[in-house]
Amino acid sequence: MGTLSEQEVPDSGAENVLDAYSRSVIHVAELVTPHVAAIEMTGTRRNGQVRMGSGSAVLFTEDGYMLTNAHVVAGIKSGRAVFADGTHTEVELVGADPLSDLAIVHGRRSTAAPATLGNAETLRVGQMVIAVGNPLGLSGSVTAGVVSGLGRSIPVWAGRHRRVIEDVIQTDAALNPGNSGGALADTSARIVGINTAVAGMGLGLAVPINSTTMRIIAALLGDGRVRRAYLGLVSTPIPLDASAVMRTGQREALRVVEVIPDSPAEHAGLRPDDLVLSAQGRPVSSAESLQKLLFAEAIGEPFPLTVLREGKVANIVAIPSEMMEQL
């Protein structure tokens, strides 16, 4: 009898790696899926036409509060959430923050146990993450991938308005319509992001769960809205070269990718390819480090920025406006 060639012999090491990967995904899916609901928001326009928004939501409190995307609720006040086991509840909008693309809805009756929120600040590029949502109406769908980028700022259109979602997680985990508002979990089944599919660039993107997000969640729970200062920058973190490190004493900065037309940033004279070194005298090296400074107290007040432009340090003062857009 013939023997298997060397190429045909299964590689047990590769199998073990794939088995471990599969077990991790299965474990996280089993723990996270019960906390993720499909939601459908419905309302009636003044002309009698029905408005609808649909996606996913993540239960994060024992008394029925769920996180989703602002663009999922689309300003609609009520709807229905259905969990993977078939249990359901009517939901009401608590509040939404278009700038972070986060919203909170509240279920009228208890359903599943809440998910555990993690901390996206611990994520590293290359780390495995699992996305759970309801793409194309298919409840409890799971995809896996890795973190492929951190600290991104993504410009998106909301109706006729342009806005920027700050500090998103980029992943190659496949996201489709209906995933928006679903969970992005780490291998310990902690929710580190809320998936968003609004960028339309074939990227998996998620709003991170971090200290800034928790501040937004607290404001939505308390007041139903977040008063936010708005600059109008699209930026990405970038390491500085050796000469810039020597000149500035910093290793990282935020590179301005785009300045939104007619924004406070444009009025202040910021330009694409400027490297933002500091804001209000504090070093900035991520979208979140800048976003932390742009809450209510910054609205209408001088907001000093130090930038590196064509090798020279420049000081610029912007006057942030209040973010008033509603989806």
pLDDT of 111: 72
What value does the mean pLDDT take over residues 52-73?
A: 92
CATH superfamily of 229-322: PDZ domain (2.30.42.10)
What is the model's pTM? 0.74
Q: What is the dihedral of CA 27, 33, 204, 144, to 10 degrees?
A: 20
Question: Is 71 one of the catalytic residues?
Answer: yes
Q: What is the pLDDT of residue 287?
A: 73
Instruction: Give residue 93's pLDDT.
Output: 96
- Please identify which of the residues 139, 180, 278, 289 carries the catalytic annotation: 180
Residue with the bigger pLDDT between 289 and 90: it is 90
Is pLDDT of 91 > 50?
yes
Tens digit of each residue's pLDDT (9 = 90 or more) over 197-228: 645 555 788 999 998 899 899 999 998 988 88
Domain 120-223 is found in CATH 3.40.50.10790: no
Q: What is the pLDDT of residues 264-287, one digit of tens each?
A: 999 999 999 999 999 999 999 877
Query: Which residue of the set 97, 101, 167, 186 is catalytic?
Result: 101
Choose, from 56, 71, 153, 289, the residue flagged as catalytic: 71
Taking the domains of the chain in order of start, what are their residue ranges?
A: 120-223, 229-322
